[in-house]
Amino acid sequence: MSLAGYEQTEAKLRSVLCEKSFAHAQRTAVTAKKLALRHDCGAGLCALAALAHDVARDMNDAELLEAAGRLDLPIGAVERKRPYLLHAAVGAGILSDRLGIEDDRVARAVERHTFGAPAMTDMEMIVFLADMIEPSRQFPGVDDIRELAERDLRAAYIMGVKRQLLSLIEMGRFIHPRTVAAWNGIAKEVRARA
């Protein structure tokens, strides 16, 4: 994507996100670009996907549920309890309308940025990690994930999913079935290598 195209996307995104969410999207894009350059993975496309990853973040619960219904997305008990969990899938579904982005790779990275998934591509892992480790993020272990992401993208992704699961368990929160599926995919891969 050209710089002009990126800037047009940025301007459209600014119009649908609050300042705090927009600033997070920008930091995530910068982080994704650095990781993509480090791992030779299409820096422009990774930065664009990271910029767009939270396009539906500021939609309220009713809007997310309505959009998910319109897009024929599955709405389970966990999503009904916390509609915010739909923002990634809804975001992927509205990329074209809201931001004019029609690249399927970007849509998949947006759709997978919250829960992960079995068999993530490098670009998808970069967007997932960039969202998790952008400079304003502070949680126990974030510096370890940041450092590992510089050296080994897959290992950092595994560490990130593990940290996400442990954090949800520690807080007594629901674990989305897609996060469980991501972890099971990782476990299957690790067992196959053993």
Of the pLDDT bands very low, low, confident and very high (cuts 50, 70, 90), residue 160 is very high
Domain 3-193 sits in CATH at 1.10.3210.10
Is residue 189 very low, low, confident or very high in pLDDT (cuts 50, 70, 90)?
Answer: confident
Rounded to whole angstroms, the Cα distance separating 127 from 50 reads 5
Burial group, residue 2, by CB count within 10 angstroms (0-12, 13-18, 19+): exposed
Q: What is the reported pLDDT for 6?
A: 86
Q: How far apart are CA 136 and CA 122, in angstroms?
A: 23
Residues constituting the chain: 194
**pLDDT at 3 exceeding the cut of 80:** no
Domains in the chain: boundaries: 3-193
Whole-number percent of the chain with pLDDT over 70: 97
Q: Which amino acid is at 171?
A: M
What the block records as the tokens of 75 is 């709405």
pLDDT at position 86 over 90: yes
Check whether 1 has a pLDDT greater than 90.
no
CA angle 105, 109, 110 (to 5 degrees): 115
Q: Can you tell me the distance from the alpha carbon of 27 to that of 8, in angstroms, rounded to the nearest whole number?
A: 17
Asked whether 129 and 157 are in contact (CB, 8 A), the reply is yes
For 159-178, what is the mean pLDDT? 94
What is the model's pTM?
0.95
Give 22's pLDDT tier (boundaries 50, 70, 90): very high
Considering the chain, what is the average pLDDT of its residues?
94
Q: Give the ranges where the chain is alpha helix by DSSP (H).
A: 3-16, 19-38, 43-52, 61-70, 77-81, 87-99, 104-112, 122-133, 142-151, 153-171, 177-193
**Does position 194 have pLDDT exceeding 80, yes or no?**
no
pLDDT tens, residue by residue, 114-142: 999 999 999 999 999 999 999 999 999 99
Average pLDDT of span 97-121: 96
Is the pLDDT reported for residue 26 higher than 80? Answer: yes
Is residue 55 within 8 Å of 95, Cβ to Cβ? Answer: yes
